[in-house]
Structure 1
Amino acid sequence: MHNDIKQALEVLKKGGVILYPTDTIWGIGCDATNEEAVKRVYEIKQREDSKSMLVLMENPNRISSYVDEVPEIALDLIEVTNKPTTIIYSGAKNLAKNLINSDGSIGIRITEEAFTQELIQRFRKPIVSTSANISGEAPAQNFAEINPDIINAVDYVVEYRQNETTKAQASSIIKIGTDWGIQIIRE
């Protein structure tokens, strides 16, 4: 795992794109503050850049560096949820402009998975996490299901957890409105 983290860090620091395991499904990722890297992720996924992607962080204390205001209810949700949950916040800032939704929002998930936690902690920035599939195809639920075109398009493929065969699931998605109202997007 440590060699993978070292290699992935080098690629991220150079503006590259990685394929990596997360606390949910395998993800395509890059530096969430680098517009060119984010553009490459959209190209690899063959996805319209009007469809925003989420970012992973390792610690809820970092959220305030990337959104204008962190509602108390968001911190409560992070603390009590028992499955990976992405929260969509208003007022995104300090991220690549092509990553932020047209309404100014961004989806953020705090990862509990050991590899991504250490990677993000050592990188000191959030990392894009979008499902490792071509847009329109079903998300790969484990490494063996990832389209070879994705594997060949990224700059580094993490070896850690490639042999796992369990079927992973995407995160829940909750949107917190500017009035602090909660909307469940995906359970």
Structure 2
Amino acid sequence: MAQYFIIHAQNPQARLIQQAVQLLKQGGILACPTDSSYALVCLMEFKDAQTRIRRLRGVDDDHPFTLICRDLAEIGTYAKVNNSQFRLLKALTPGAYTFLLEASREVPRRLHHPKRSTIGLRVPKHVVTQTLLDALDCPMLSMTLQLPGDEAPLSVGWEIREALEHQIDAVIDSDIVHVGPTTVLDLTEDPPSLVRAGVAPWP
């Protein structure tokens, strides 16, 4: 049964953050709030956790994960970023955007886009997510928590617990900023192109 952490959105309880960190480091899956709905998250090294997330979402092996990073420096570790891309990233982070960039060697090939050497990355503007990332000292893989057949992502902690309490390891119940998808921008093109309109404005 999933553990259930009620975490303050502005002053996250360190003890509960550490419990969530331990679950992730043991290969667990969490339902985590972001600034654009809830996400299912795990760590990059755990293939089994990624398979479980894909199964929960009802998607195939080609469906991409997004790498949730702490800041621009971490994005620069996992993606190749030129000067113009950096300026745009600096202007739009943190925020409810996902950026498609060429993956660096730090990203396993299995996590690349199936036809391109790209990966989606984001820096959410959410205190709980940022605190969790700081405690982990590494990024998290994520997919929006939208179950097969649902028209919208799940956005209420106790409802997520009821739906998934036997299929994930923990639910972090905290406030979210928006209910809806991130705005996805392809930064490998010049100028950048809009892949998906979401809760964040573009242009």
- Is TM (by shorter chain) over 0.5? yes
Distance 1:93 1:34 in 2: 17
Q: How does 1:165-176 map to 2 (within 5 A)?
A: 168-176=179-187
Q: Who is 1:156 aligned against?
A: 170
Q: Is the 8 Å Cα contact of residues 34 and 176 (structure 2) preserved in structure 1?
A: no
| Structure 1 residue 147: Cα displacement | 7.8
Q: Is the 8 Å Cα contact of residues 34 and 95 (structure 1) preserved in structure 2?
A: no
Q: How does 1:28-47 map to 2 (within 5 A)?
A: 28-47=40-59
1:75 aligns with 2:86: yes
For residue 128 of structure 1, what is the amino acid of its counterpart? L
For residue 116 of structure 1, what is the amino acid of its counterpart? T
1:183 aligns with 2:193: yes
1:110 aligns with 2:123: yes
SS in 1 for 2:179: coil
| Structure 1 residue 143: Cα displacement | 3.2
SS in 1 for 2:103: coil
Q: Who is 2:74 aligned against?
A: 62
User: What is the TM-score with the length of structure 2 in the denominator?
Assistant: 0.78
| Structure 1 residue 112: Cα displacement | 2.0
For residue 126 of structure 2, what is the amino acid of its counterpart? E
Distance 2:183 2:153 in 1: 15
Compared CA separation, residues 145 and 35, structure 1 to 2 (3 A): same
User: What is the TM-score with the length of structure 1 in the denominator?
Assistant: 0.84
| Structure 1 residue 21: Cα displacement | 0.7
Q: Who is 2:153 aligned against?
A: 139
**Unmatched segments (≥5 aa) in structure 2:** 1-11, 198-203
Q: Is the 8 Å Cα contact of residues 74 and 87 (structure 1) preserved in structure 2?
A: no
1:84 aligns with 2:96: yes
| Structure 1 residue 175: Cα displacement | 0.7
| Structure 1 residue 33: Cα displacement | 3.3
For residue 139 of structure 2, what is the amino acid of its counterpart? P
Of 89-98 and 107-116, the range deviating more from structure 2: 89-98
Q: Is the 8 Å Cα contact of residues 27 and 130 (structure 1) preserved in structure 2?
A: yes
Q: CA RMSD in A?
A: 2.3
Compared CA separation, residues 182 and 11, structure 1 to 2 (3 A): same
Of 54-63 and 42-51, the range deviating more from structure 2: 42-51
SS in 2 for 1:75: helix
SS in 2 for 1:158: strand
Q: Is the 8 Å Cα contact of residues 36 and 177 (structure 2) preserved in structure 1?
A: no
**Unmatched segments (≥5 aa) in structure 1:** none
Q: Percent identity?
A: 20
The alignment of Structure 1 onto Structure 2 pairs a total of residues equal to 182
Distance 1:106 1:140 in 2: 24
